[in-house]
Amino acid sequence: MDLSNDVEPVTALKRSAAELIARATDRHSPIVITQNGKPTAVLQDVHSYQRQQRALHLLKLIVQGEQDHRTGRMHDQASVDERVAARLAERRGAS
């Protein structure tokens, strides 16, 4: 992702916030906000932000699954089916 065309000083944000928000929304691309010539913040549309957060969450779940597999914290389908059936039977009996 090349952000070199989407860098704006904080003064542009103060002066034209609505325009920058529209640009970020239309392009679905973040805008880097600089202060004293240094990148300090990112302006991003909500849809892109939510999509990015979902992707990050999915990656975290994948990593956790790989760690569980490496440490042997897993069950085969047959044992899961047995455990679910036993719990359902317990609940039916308690009703």
Instruction: Write out pLDDT tens, residues 39-73.
Output: 999 999 999 999 999 999 999 999 999 999 999 99
Which string of DSSP letters, residue by residue, matches 18-84?
Answer: HHHHHHHHHHT--EEEEETTEEEEEE--HHHHHHHHHHHHHHHHHHHHHHHHHTT----HHHHHHHH
pLDDT band of residue 94 (cuts 50, 70, 90) is confident
pLDDT of 82 reads 95
> Can you give the pTM of this predicted structure?
0.70
15 and 51 together in one domain: no
Instruction: Give residue 92's domain range.
Output: 47-95
As a whole number, mean pLDDT of residues 4-32 equals 95
Residues 70 and 90 in one domain: yes
What local confidence, expressed as pLDDT, does residue 1 receive?
66
Position 95 scores a pLDDT of 67
Q: Do 66 and 28 share a domain, yes or no?
A: no
